A and B are shown apart, each in its own frame.
Chain A
Amino acid sequence: MGGCLEAMKPEIILSQSSFKEAREYIKKNVREYHEVEPGYKIFDVHIIGVPPLYIGVEGEHLIFPYTKPCHGTFVVKVPGGEEIARLRARKK
């Protein structure tokens, strides 16, 4: 896991899933979600996969897919900080 993200002690919502399962989870379970392009960087990690890829916002937290080469895709929840404003400010 990226050092910065790891230090944030993320809550693991889904583990070792596929990137498609992660996409569906966020779409179905998070009311506010934003589409981002593959390679979008959040904290020190990239969002990896085939479009559409989503990052959810729930209160002060972000919920997003984190892909590890050996262990599949995790859906993680961390405090969003300034990343929430950056995400919302993106052009649709």
Chain B
Amino acid sequence: MTENNEEKTALILLGCPQVPVQTSMALYLLHSLKQQGIRPVIAGTTAARKLMEVADPGRYYVSEMTDLDDAIDAITGKERDFDLCFVFIHNDSGIAYAGTMAYISKARLYALLFGEHAEDLAGEIEFPCEVVAAKAVHNPMPLKRRLDEVMQQWAAVSKQ
């Protein structure tokens, strides 16, 4: 939920960083959100967060980061919520985390599916969210194009 009346917030939930495009796309998403005045908070495994830290040593894009369990604690404990939530998904655990966010958070949920089995995984989603899926493993461009389409639609709606 928006934490003050001015600034919207987005939770970016990173999965296991074994698929190369995740870190690149997460940085790109941070850039897009900041351009729209949305404050991003990253939640992820230790390795996923370290990859972000090392890729952005000047902290141009990465600001607040938190542990996955701490983020879930804050939302279930009603201490905090977000306007938007983007969940990076390339395996069944990613679907499970996105399903959890759909249940516990009031945020508008985006499921970003990538990796070898992105389309199959998209078929597993049975909860309300916007699906952004592309078979992208090493080359982020298919997922970037899909995300650009969604962000443009979202920006247009926000301006109305």
Contacts and interface: CB of A to CB of B under 8 A. Distances in A.
Given A38-B104, A39-B100, A46-B72, 18 more contacts: A37-B103, A38-B99, A39-B103, A41-B73, A48-B97, A48-B99, A49-B99, A50-B100, A50-B102, A50-B103, A50-B126, A51-B103, A67-B93, A68-B93, A69-B48, A70-B15, A70-B91, A70-B93
A15 interface: no
B72 A50 contact: no
B96 interface: yes
Contacts of B103: 37-39, 50-51
Nearest to A17: B92
Q: Is the interface of A mostly helix, strand, loop or mixed?
A: loop
Nearest to A47: B100
B18 interface: yes
Interface string A2-23: 1000000000000000110000
Interface residues of B, number: 26
B92 A73 contact: yes
B79 to A, nearest CB: 13
Contacts of B91: 70, 72
Interface in A26-65: 37-39, 41, 44-46, 48-51
A16 to B, nearest CB: 9
A50 B127 contact: yes
B36 interface: no
Given A18-B92, A50-B127, A69 B15 contact: yes
Contacts of A37: 103-104
